[in-house]
Amino acid sequence: MKCVVGTALAVAIGWSVTNATAQSKNPVDAYLEAAKAAAGFDFTGTLVRVCVAPQTAPGADVAPGPAPDRATWATDPAKVFDNLYFVGTKIHSAWALTTSEGIILIDTLYEYASDDAIVGGLRKLGLDPGTVKYVIVSHAHGDHVGGAKLMQDRFGARLIMGGPDWDMIDKSVNQYPNGKPKRDIVATDGQKVTLGDTTVTIILTPGHTPGTLSLIFDVKDNGKPLTVAYSGGTAFNFPNDVPHFDTYIESQRKMAAAAAGANATALMSNHSEFDNAVTKIKTLAARKPGEPHPFDIGRDAVARYFKVTETCAQLARFKLQAPKG
Ligand SMILES: [Zn+2]
């Protein structure tokens, strides 16, 4: 019932934004209200990041700073679904999807955390990091690509990344003082990465970076199958101009359609601030029999996530074009 109400609300909000944008003198408020309504209680972190305090410039090509104290980022690894394990930090997520033929690792954290949280985390969970066959890197920012070289060099894992993000790595002068991952598999739109009994579908969602990858894959919750929509890039730290926002907006719509088409009922991300991963994992530990899985939020809530990112991008794009003063 809750989901039905959510859908009706989302439709109503969509209608009111369209009208407010056309008729009201204050479309900024209309966009913001629509984004807030879409976020609900599920995506407040995403809302704050992209609607309230958007980051507005790409990071410079500089060497990573010193590693922060371990206590600021370390958290326990966890089994989240029958075949999906969290091996991330308090801030960034990395996910191990187990298959009949080994592991597909999704994202690799900052370099300073990767050995400890991913390699150590897998071992703590009774998984062998040597069985990681594929590493899908959602995009080539330091907080997700940091452990890619380690997985490639130490375990011979194949790396999959968007072509423009492989190019970003090639062009970088300063960001990889300990060496770059070697260019490997270039992701294509709709590509199926199959390992044993499991397939991950890649959706190219340029915007956050030119080669950002989002994913669709299935997991099992005590044997019950469900589908995950994995959003690979969220914040607006790209050149803030209309063409870049248009690209980002188109990708949010594309991924929303892919998630709906796959009947995805879980939304996952690579930052805990966007999908509340660390909090949900704590909730999961206290889950009682018969209670819903905290990540299984329903297809309408998944749709609302992409409505938040799209609407906030529309707002930022509108502000670029609005007359100043
Ligand atoms: Zn990023």
DSSP labels for 90-118?
A: SSB--EEEEETTEEEEE----HHHIIIII
87-101 pLDDT, tens digit per residue, is: 999 999 999 999 999
Q: Which residue(s) pair with 2 in the sheet?
A: none
Residue 283's contacts (CB-CB under 8 Å, 6 or more residues apart) are: 294
Output the six-digit token pair for 316.
């930022």
Average pLDDT over residues 268-284: 94
Average pLDDT over residues 276-282: 95
Q: Out of 4-13, 58-67, 195-204, which region has the weakest mean confidence (pLDDT)? A: 4-13
Q: What share of the chain has pLDDT > 70, as a percent? A: 91
* Cα(237) to centroid(ligand 1), Å: 8
* Cα(222) to centroid(ligand 1), Å: 32
* Cα(2) to centroid(ligand 1), Å: 33
* Cα(277) to centroid(ligand 1), Å: 17
* Cα(325) to centroid(ligand 1), Å: 32
245-263 pLDDT, tens digit per residue, is: 999 999 999 999 999 999 9
* Cα(180) to centroid(ligand 1), Å: 17
Cβ(267)–Cβ(141) below 8 Å: no
* Cα(302) to centroid(ligand 1), Å: 21
Please tell me the predicted confidence (pLDDT) of residue 322.
77
H-helix segments, 137-184: 142-145, 148-155, 163-171
* Cα(224) to centroid(ligand 1), Å: 32
* Cα(208) to centroid(ligand 1), Å: 6
Please tell me the predicted confidence (pLDDT) of residue 81.
98
Q: Which residue(s) pair with 195 in the sheet?
A: 198
* Cα(69) to centroid(ligand 1), Å: 21
Residue recorded with tokens 């309230």: 52
Q: What share of the chain has pLDDT > 90, as a percent? A: 87
Q: How far apart are CA 148 and CA 105, in angstroms?
A: 10
107-131 pLDDT, tens digit per residue, is: 999 999 999 999 999 999 999 999 9
* Cα(18) to centroid(ligand 1), Å: 30
Average pLDDT over residues 21-42: 84
Question: Does residue 15 surpass a pLDDT of 50?
Answer: no
180-189 pLDDT, tens digit per residue, is: 999 999 999 9
Question: Does residue 35 surpass a pLDDT of 80?
Answer: yes
Average pLDDT over residues 145-159: 98
* Cα(181) to centroid(ligand 1), Å: 17
Q: How far apart are CA 182 and CA 155, in angstroms?
A: 14
For residue 34, the SS3 value is helix
Q: What is the DSSP letter of 225?
A: E
Average pLDDT over residues 6-28: 52
Please tell me the predicted confidence (pLDDT) of residue 54.
73
* Cα(46) to centroid(ligand 1), Å: 13
Please tell me the predicted confidence (pLDDT) of residue 58.
84
* Cα(144) to centroid(ligand 1), Å: 7
CA distances from 319 to 29, 221, 233, 245, 312 (A): 11, 43, 22, 11, 11
Output the six-digit token pair for 202.
């890649």
pLDDT, mean over the chain: 92
- Model confidence at 24, pLDDT cuts 50, 70, 90, reads low
* Cα(38) to centroid(ligand 1), Å: 23
* Cα(309) to centroid(ligand 1), Å: 14
Walk across the sheet containing 185-187 and list its strands.
78-81, 84-86, 95-99, 102-106, 132-136, 158-162, 185-187
Helix (H) or strand (E) holding 192: strand 192-195
Please tell me the predicted confidence (pLDDT) of residue 1.
33
* Cα(107) to centroid(ligand 1), Å: 11
Residue 195's contacts (CB-CB under 8 Å, 6 or more residues apart) are: 99, 101, 102, 103, 104, 133, 134
Q: How far apart are CA 268 and CA 84, in angstroms?
A: 11
Question: Does residue 50 surpass a pLDDT of 90?
Answer: yes
Cβ(40)–Cβ(55) below 8 Å: no
Cβ(12)–Cβ(1) below 8 Å: no
Cβ(96)–Cβ(135) below 8 Å: no
Output the six-digit token pair for 303.
């749709």
* Cα(307) to centroid(ligand 1), Å: 19
